[in-house]
Amino acid sequence: MQRDTRQRLFLDLKNVGPLRQIQLEIKPGINVIKAQNASGKTSLVRGLTSMFSDAVPPAHILALNEVQGRVAVQYGGKSYVKMFRRTPSGEVVASGPMLPFADHRAFDACVAMAETGVVHKITGGGSVFREYLENLSYGKYYGTVSSVAQDLVNELSRELASPRFEKFEAIPLLVTELTNLYLKREQAEAKIEALKSGHQREVQDAAKRKEDKRSELTRQEAMLSELRKELTSEKEKEKQLRSFLEETDDSAKVTTKIRNGILESKKKQERAQKEISRESAHLADLKDELEKLESQYQGKLTERVRGLNALETEHQRLNKAAILKEEAIQQAEKFPEDDPLYGGRLVVEVRRETARKIEWLNKVVEYFQEKYMRRMNSAKVRFNRNINRAFRELELKGFENVFLDQDFGLHVVRENGVQQPVETLSASEKLTVSLILMLAARDTFLPDFPFFILDELTLSYDPARFRRVVDYVKKRVPYVIVTSLTSEGTGKPTVTYEV
């Protein structure tokens, strides 16, 4: 006859911890697993835990001297088998399906073992539960996405600030330097132009002076020619008068007139002669001066402008420097062809793309941080509410309140209203607070998870308080598994049931 598996759960373990082979039935209600020390109670719990969570490493489950082991569970008419195998390198690997309600968070909320999880944390004096709530509320995922996005933002920002982009960032400075070179070059050009036009003016002035002198010389020559004509004419006149004088009689009147005329003509000839001598000397001076001016003009025409060489050299130097600067700017705007990431691309485009990525990632960071905060705050409020309910229902003496503050720090308030640091609580009080937190976590995050496991926590508790805890759990969880130490029995764990 087939067994009814709808309510019950059958556990079959092979080579788990010190257990060679064991089969147990877990019934709805309280299942108390009793055994002596080192007989496999905790291994049994670990084996069962491996079917709904991977929190326990496979190496902690498989028997030390075995290469293969197995945990099989029959539940809801189906069989789930997980195999444990030791590889040649000594590593233990697990394979096989989990139970349908498997949830990795269940280990933190529903498995109370002395050496792991919340109990271990609190007994060790731990008092900040941010990570605990992050795991249970999935806030960790939002936090992780946000953190990864922030890491990418940082990485991209570092990339933008890396030496690869330095040359591009220096372009405004290079443009300023280039502008200064242009300005200096323009100044040099203006000076060269001024020198050249000054020289041109000097040449023109020399030419004008030369032409003026030549005109003066021409005028002088004409004047001299007139004087010579005048002299010749007077000589002719004298000659004529003398011939008249020879032909005339001694009529006093005519002779006197002719002789006066001859005297007058002689005086004019003397004056003309003097003027010719003077003007001839002047003409000679003019010729000398013209010759000098011609020489000056020719000298000016052929001479190199003073200071022009130095200016032209400076201009060439500035021009060369400007070209080099232009080339530097041209090189700075592109990545080198051999750049492994952006070879030959324009830096400004890569910068723009990176900036867009950063902008988008910042939005992701903001979005997921907000999600994280909302989820964590909501989780904390619900968690504190469930802590309060568990605390009230368990009617634990000595405490007034237990809660998490805004930074997820645990506060324990005693009956007199005094806050007590977690590390100063007694062992049983730490255990109580741990269980309250786990029960609140279960109620908050895993209200439908069917197991709650208490592994050997009875040692620190008086029976009445332990009973209240177990009854509280029993009201909420279908399967409560409690391990308990006993000095009786065969050495193999046995189960007793309380429905």
Partner 1 sequence: MSSWKNTFDVVHSELELAKRKKQALDELLAKNRMSQPTYEHIVGSLNDNIDDLESHLKLLMQKMTERADELESQAELIKQFLVSLEMRIIANEIKQDTYEKNKRAFELGLKATEDELTEIKGAITKVI
Q: Which residues bind partner 1 (CB under 8 A)?
A: 171-172, 175-176, 178-179, 182-183, 326-327, 329-330, 333, 346-349, 351
We find the least distance from the C-beta atom of residue 218 to partner 1, in angstroms, to be: 52
Report which of 91, 40, 86 is spatially closest to residue 66, judged by C-alpha positions.
Answer: 86
Give the Cα separation of 70 and 430 in Å (integer). 35
Residue for token pair 């909420």: 476
| Residue with Cβ nearer partner 1 (152 or 171) | 171
Length of the chain: 499
Does residue 71 contact residue 61 with C-beta atoms inside 8 Å?
Answer: yes
| Residue with Cβ nearer partner 1 (65 or 330) | 330
What does each C-alpha distance from 467 to 119, 193, 400, 432 come to in angstroms?
A: 18, 109, 21, 12
DSSP labels for 248-311?
S-S-HHHHHHHHHHHHHHHHHHHHHHHHHHHHHHHHHHHHHHHHHHHHHHHHHHHSPPTTHHHH
The dihedral over CA atoms of 201, 204, 210, 215, expressed in degrees to the nearest 10, equals -120
We find the least distance from the C-beta atom of residue 358 to partner 1, in angstroms, to be: 16
We find the least distance from the C-beta atom of residue 190 to partner 1, in angstroms, to be: 15
| Residue with Cβ nearer partner 1 (179 or 197) | 179
Does residue 171 contact residue 326 with C-beta atoms inside 8 Å?
Answer: no
We find the least distance from the C-beta atom of residue 176 to partner 1, in angstroms, to be: 6
| Residue with Cβ nearer partner 1 (172 or 417) | 172
| Residue with Cβ nearer partner 1 (10 or 182) | 182
We find the least distance from the C-beta atom of residue 189 to partner 1, in angstroms, to be: 15
We find the least distance from the C-beta atom of residue 162 to partner 1, in angstroms, to be: 18
Does residue 188 contact residue 314 with C-beta atoms inside 8 Å?
Answer: yes
| Residue with Cβ nearer partner 1 (254 or 346) | 346
Does residue 345 contact residue 335 with C-beta atoms inside 8 Å?
Answer: yes
We find the least distance from the C-beta atom of residue 343 to partner 1, in angstroms, to be: 16
Cα angle, residue 325 at apex, residues 322 and 329 outer, rounded to 5°: 140
| Residue with Cβ nearer partner 1 (179 or 419) | 179
Give the Cα separation of 17 and 43 in Å (integer). 5
| Residue with Cβ nearer partner 1 (148 or 329) | 329
| Residue with Cβ nearer partner 1 (177 or 314) | 177
| Residue with Cβ nearer partner 1 (350 or 376) | 350
From the CB of residue 232, how many other CB atoms can be counted at a distance below 10 Å? 12
We find the least distance from the C-beta atom of residue 342 to partner 1, in angstroms, to be: 14
Alpha-helix residue ranges (DSSP H) falling in 62-101: none
DSSP labels for 311-343?
HHHHHHHHHHHHHHHHHHHHHHTB--TT-TTTT
| Residue with Cβ nearer partner 1 (349 or 359) | 349
We find the least distance from the C-beta atom of residue 327 to partner 1, in angstroms, to be: 8
We find the least distance from the C-beta atom of residue 159 to partner 1, in angstroms, to be: 18
We find the least distance from the C-beta atom of residue 146 to partner 1, in angstroms, to be: 31
Q: What are phi and psi of 386, to 5 degrees?
A: -70, -30
* Kind plus residue range of the DSSP H or E element containing 412: strand 410-414
Residue 435's SS3 state is helix
